[in-house]
Structure 1
Amino acid sequence: MRIVFLNSLEKQEDGAVSDGAQVWIGEDEGIWRMGWNEITGSEEQETVWYEGGSWSEMLHVYRHRLVVKMGEGYRPVIEGIWDEREEFHGRGMAAQKLICYSEQHGNEGLYNELCVWRRKKAAADRKAPYMIASNRLLKLISVFRPRTVEELLQLPGLGESKATEYGPDLLEMVQAQGEERPGDFPLDWVEREIDEDVFRTWMYKQKEAKFRLEMEKFSLRRMVLESLAQGLDLEGICNRTGLERREAVELLELLEKDGYTTDAVVQLEIQNMPKEQQSAVWKAFEELGDHFLKPVLQRVYDQEAIEGGGVEQLYEKLRLIRISYRRQKENAPKAG
């Protein structure tokens, strides 16, 4: 096997190096292997993280597995795994440090009260709770305890509109507890107070969740592409991936945008749809555009058909035909 990438990492505890490790990538006749060698004392343990023919898939696994290790405290001996300077000293880092500090110094009593207020407010306004305030914003308020709307606006995640609407309630709850706050506004003192290595570890844990989600999405795409190659219908794709039918159709639309052809499964799903209905849908797309489906639905089907209990199935057919329509429109020769 030919090693194409190797980097050493060290884990520090109480100012001393406790463990060392290496992350490596190798290639042998088109097969990529990637793994982690952990060195403890005189022992070395190798764990293979990936073995296969997809460079893209391997990179997704690499980023996720490595960021988990860096979240555990490992640091590269030679920089180059990521652009550290941009990640930890770029724009937006001040806000990230406020969030990190709030999670490290939580005020659970006030935070829980704010969550109860948000739940009641959401029910009264008939909104989702996250539209009132995010968990992170409530945690920031509970820790930094602003006393005025001006101070409230210095917290990331709150604009003037929400500050005007919800600010009085939030400030009243903060004042009612009467506890001392860790420091005054402006909050530039947080930059000095927060431990840099604690912040790096926290940032890597945020990346872990992001990379895990990306890896799951990539795995889903791969499973759908394999299902298409095997000629499975939509139900077969759903059984294999665990997706709902609408989620599967939406993923087919994304694959088409990326240049993959999904025509075989589209034709399987609309083969029992009357040809005149298919033609009517196609004509409606030409006349009304393909961005919104509701006008097309109302043009093609009467109210009885729409209210007959199968509206989701009708929308599914429209989405599938739209895939073919967009492909043909994209491939049509341009005038002039």
Structure 2
Amino acid sequence: MEIVFLNRFERALGKSEVERGQVFIGEYQGIWSVGWHSIPDQGEDGRMTWYEGTSWEELLASFRYGVAGQMKLGFRPLLDGMLEDSPFWERRQQFASVLQCYADRLGTEELIAPLRQWRRAKAAEEKRSAYLVATNRELRLIAVFVPRTLEELEQLPGFGKLKVEKYGPELLEQAAAMPRDHSFPLQWVEEAVTEDQLAAWLFLQKEEKYGKDISLVQEKKKLLTGIRQGSSIAELEKELGIPRRMLVERIDRLDEEGYDVLPLVARELAEVAAEEIDQVETAMQELGDRYLKPIYQRLYAADGAPSGAAGQAERQYEKLRMIRIRFRRSGAKSAVS
């Protein structure tokens, strides 16, 4: 294997003892590999392979995830700039991260439970996703720092003017029953969080983020394989465990990224009447294809009234997405010819 990248890491174990390791990227006959081994290298047992294959995208995601995990454990690179991070002493000035780190360490589920219940009811009332009302992290910040006034609530990351105006009074009502033994403003938190604690928290966030990136890359790989093998959307939904709506959105995104999804589109549109496809494409020529709602309203709704149940409307939007892919691809071919 030819090593194309190597960086050493160190972790202090005591006043004089240091543990060393290194991350590597190598290539052999078109097969890429990335991983970690300790120094001195203890053979195969001392080596961890994070990824081995031909996908540079998957390799990069595995590299970032692995490095974040090692840095979370206290290892630091001799060659700085890993994970595109700014130097630690600059990150230390990001007050929002300090507050979030402190809240994550102290925010128990018991503390957050009443706020979750409020969010669930509010999301149902507004018919929107719960995270759009407030994220888990925002609820945790309230549970730990317990603001008593709107001005104090605004000091917490994520609570801008609009959110405070909309939900502030209700959130303060929930927080009123919670005990508090600290004061505002919250600059004291900087002294309560050590550099090591903040560093570990920051790299944990990176590790979680890159772990999700790996899952998305692997999911994308399975999706493309399924499309090449002739799977239908229903079959892909079952195989990948992704809700049909999200799956169609990802197929649309693959097309935007330049992947060939036309075989799948052709299969899905095989039972759609040619006249209906012509009507949709004519509407896209006249109204543009960026937004689907005007096309849906023209073709599938009478006088602005929705056509059928929510499930039917969702299938009609799915059909519009498939036709739009075909429409854009046929336009691209025409432009080339």
TM-score class, shorter-chain normalisation, is 0.7 to 0.9
User: Shift of the alpha carbon at 1:325?
Assistant: 0.9
- Contact kept, 8 Å, 2:61 with 2:210, in 1: the verdict is yes
Answering whether residue 194 of structure 2 is matched by residue 185 of structure 1, we say: no
The whole-number CA distance in structure 2 between the counterparts of 1:53 and 1:188 is 49
TM-score of the pair, normalised by structure 2: 0.83
The whole-number CA distance in structure 1 between the counterparts of 2:306 and 2:139 is 46
Correspondence for 1:24: 24
Query: Can you list the C-alpha shifts for 1:298-319, whole angstroms capped at 9, x where unaligned?
Result: 4445779943874443332221
Query: Can you list the C-alpha shifts for 1:50-103, whole angstroms capped at 9, x where unaligned?
Result: 221222221111111221222222222332423443566259821111110122
In structure 1, runs of 5+ residues without a counterpart are none
TM-score of the pair, normalised by structure 1: 0.84
The whole-number CA distance in structure 2 between the counterparts of 1:243 and 1:220 is 10
The whole-number CA distance in structure 1 between the counterparts of 2:301 and 2:124 is 36
Correspondence for 2:141: 140
User: Shift of the alpha carbon at 1:236?
Assistant: 4.2
Amino acid at match of 2:165: T
Query: Equivalent residue of 2:222, what SS?
Result: helix
- Contact kept, 8 Å, 2:31 with 2:53, in 1: the verdict is yes
Correspondence for 2:158: 157
User: Shift of the alpha carbon at 1:214?
Assistant: 1.4
Amino acid at match of 1:322: R
Name the CA shift for 1:75/1:268 in 2 (closer, same or farther; >3 Å). Answer: same
Correspondence for 1:325: 327
The whole-number CA distance in structure 2 between the counterparts of 1:294 and 1:30 is 46
Shifted more, 17-26 versus 229-238: the winner is: 229-238
Amino acid at match of 2:159: L
- Contact kept, 8 Å, 2:41 with 2:47, in 1: the verdict is no
Correspondence for 1:77: 78
Query: Equivalent residue of 2:184, what SS?
Result: coil
1:230-269 to structure 2, matched below 5 A, reads 230-269=229-268
- Contact kept, 8 Å, 1:10 with 1:17, in 2: the verdict is no
Query: Equivalent residue of 2:165, what SS?
Result: helix
- Contact kept, 8 Å, 1:64 with 1:212, in 2: the verdict is yes
- Contact kept, 8 Å, 1:110 with 1:174, in 2: the verdict is no
- Contact kept, 8 Å, 1:7 with 1:23, in 2: the verdict is yes
Name the CA shift for 1:114/1:14 in 2 (closer, same or farther; >3 Å). Answer: farther
Name the CA shift for 1:72/1:109 in 2 (closer, same or farther; >3 Å). Answer: same
Query: Can you list the C-alpha shifts for 1:210-266, whole angstroms capped at 9, x where unaligned?
Result: 111111111122222223333444344434433343333222211111122222221
Count of aligned pairs between the two proteins: 332
Name the CA shift for 1:144/1:313 in 2 (closer, same or farther; >3 Å). Answer: closer
Answering whether residue 64 of structure 2 is matched by residue 63 of structure 1, we say: yes
The whole-number CA distance in structure 1 between the counterparts of 2:312 and 2:179 is 56
Amino acid at match of 1:75: R
Name the CA shift for 1:26/1:313 in 2 (closer, same or farther; >3 Å). Answer: same
Correspondence for 1:228: 227
Shifted more, 101-110 versus 71-80: the winner is: 101-110
Name the CA shift for 1:147/1:230 in 2 (closer, same or farther; >3 Å). Answer: closer
Name the CA shift for 1:15/1:179 in 2 (closer, same or farther; >3 Å). Answer: farther
Amino acid at match of 1:27: E
Amino acid at match of 2:104: E
The whole-number CA distance in structure 1 between the counterparts of 2:282 and 2:170 is 53
The whole-number CA distance in structure 2 between the counterparts of 1:301 and 1:111 is 44
Runs of 4+ in 1 over 6 A off after TM superposition: 40-43, 302-305
1:7-156 to structure 2, matched below 5 A, reads 7-13=7-13, 17=17, 19-38=19-38, 45-86=46-87, 89-90=90-91, 93-106=94-107, 110-123=111-124, 128-156=129-157
Shifted more, 198-207 versus 7-16: the winner is: 7-16
Query: Equivalent residue of 2:206, what SS?
Result: helix
Answering whether residue 237 of structure 2 is matched by residue 216 of structure 1, we say: no
Name the CA shift for 1:27/1:216 in 2 (closer, same or farther; >3 Å). Answer: same
User: Shift of the alpha carbon at 1:323?
Assistant: 0.4
Shifted more, 131-140 versus 257-266: the winner is: 131-140
Percent identity between matched residues is: 38
The whole-number CA distance in structure 2 between the counterparts of 1:269 and 1:89 is 52
Name the CA shift for 1:101/1:298 in 2 (closer, same or farther; >3 Å). Answer: closer
In structure 2, runs of 5+ residues without a counterpart are none
Query: Can you list the C-alpha shifts for 1:145-172, whole angstroms capped at 9, x where unaligned?
Result: 3333222211111122332344344445
User: Shift of the alpha carbon at 1:12?
Assistant: 3.2
Shifted more, 232-241 versus 295-304: the winner is: 295-304
Name the CA shift for 1:78/1:162 in 2 (closer, same or farther; >3 Å). Answer: closer
The whole-number CA distance in structure 1 between the counterparts of 2:269 and 2:125 is 44
Answering whether residue 316 of structure 2 is matched by residue 314 of structure 1, we say: yes
